[in-house]
């Protein structure tokens, strides 16, 4: 998940899950929140250009509550979740959340008027899972399919995975994290995530 796919995945993940309402269907959540956040970004463009670090506040307040980080962490770590201590699990969730915040913030600052096409959700009435498909388009690039996997938790729809052009966020991170753990241990992964988050935070302020 590199290049344009990575950038647009991060961008779409941000503005799609700002505000959710229990009465909304998954696709209604996607459409409503996308339109709201795009308007917010556009109306605050001058502020963000002058103080780009303010994007962190918007991501942290509007987006992070819409993710189920515990479920995502379990799936991303796979078998390593079971072998990790409670302290390691808690630290991983914190660092993983920060990684997404920092990376999404960078991608959001590059937003330049791309449009979104929405499709009806795929939802089994006997399940709490749903898939929402969209396409990101712009005048200068081809359509990019974005697929969201969501589940309903405490009567709210939350994201648990996203795939851009067929590439899954969870699957990609799962592979890279597993390699790091196998090579140098779980604590080394936590250390690397912490260092990467610090670099991302510093780069957006410069």
32's tokens: 């409503």
Q: How far apart are CA 60 and CA 101, in angstroms?
A: 7
Q: How far apart are CA 36 and CA 60, in angstroms?
A: 16
In DSSP terms, 132 is beta-bridged to: 148
Average pLDDT of every residue of the chain:
82
For residue 116, which of 56, 33, 19 has the smallest C-alpha distance? Answer: 33
In this predicted structure, what is the pLDDT of residue 195?
95
In this predicted structure, what is the pLDDT of residue 192?
96
pTM given for the model = 0.79
What does the pLDDT look like over 180-205, one tens digit per residue? 999 999 999 999 999 999 998 887 76
What does the pLDDT look like over 89-116, one tens digit per residue? 999 999 999 988 887 777 777 777 788 8
Q: How far apart are CA 27 and CA 130, in angstroms?
A: 9
Most confident of 19-28, 44-53, 159-168, 186-195: 186-195
Q: Please give the C-alpha separations between residue 52 and each of 46, 102, 116, in angstroms, as whole numbers.
A: 10, 12, 24
CATH architecture of 3-205: Roll (3.10)
What does the pLDDT look like over 30-50, one tens digit per residue? 777 677 777 778 888 888 888
What does the pLDDT look like over 128-161, one tens digit per residue? 899 999 888 876 667 888 888 999 888 888 888 8
In this predicted structure, what is the pLDDT of residue 141?
67
CB 172 within 8 A of CB 162: no
The helix (H) or strand (E) run that includes residue 4 is helix 3-16
Kindly report which listed range (12-26, 77-91, 122-136) carries the lowest average pLDDT score. Answer: 12-26
For residue 149, which of 41, 75, 40, 200 has the smallest C-alpha distance? Answer: 75
């Amino acid at each position: 998940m590199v290049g344009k796919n990575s950038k647009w995945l991060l961008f779409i993940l941000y503005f799609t899950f700002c505000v959710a309402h229990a009465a909304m269907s998954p696709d209604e959540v996607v459409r409503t929140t996308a339109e709201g956040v795009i308007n917010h970004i556009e109306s605050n463009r001058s502020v963000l250009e002058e103080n780009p670090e303010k994007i962190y506040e918007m991501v942290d307040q509007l987006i992070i509550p819409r993710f189920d980080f515990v479920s995502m962490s379990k799936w991303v770590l796979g078998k390593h979740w079971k072998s990790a201590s409670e302290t390691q699990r808690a630290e991983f969730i914190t660092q993983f959340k920060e990684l997404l915040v920092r990376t999404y913030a960078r991608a959001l600052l590059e937003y330049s008027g791309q449009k979104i096409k929405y499709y009806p959700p795929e939802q089994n009435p006997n399940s709490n899972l749903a898939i929402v498909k969209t396409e990101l388009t712009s005048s200068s690039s081809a359509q990019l399919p974005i697929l969201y996997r969501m589940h309903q938790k405490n009567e709210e729809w939350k994201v648990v995975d996203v795939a851009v052009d067929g590439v899954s966020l969870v699957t990609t991170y799962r592979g890279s994290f597993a390699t790091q753990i196998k090579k140098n241990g779980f604590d080394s992964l936590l250390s690397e995530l912490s260092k990467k988050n610090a670099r991302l935070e510093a780069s957006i302020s410069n």
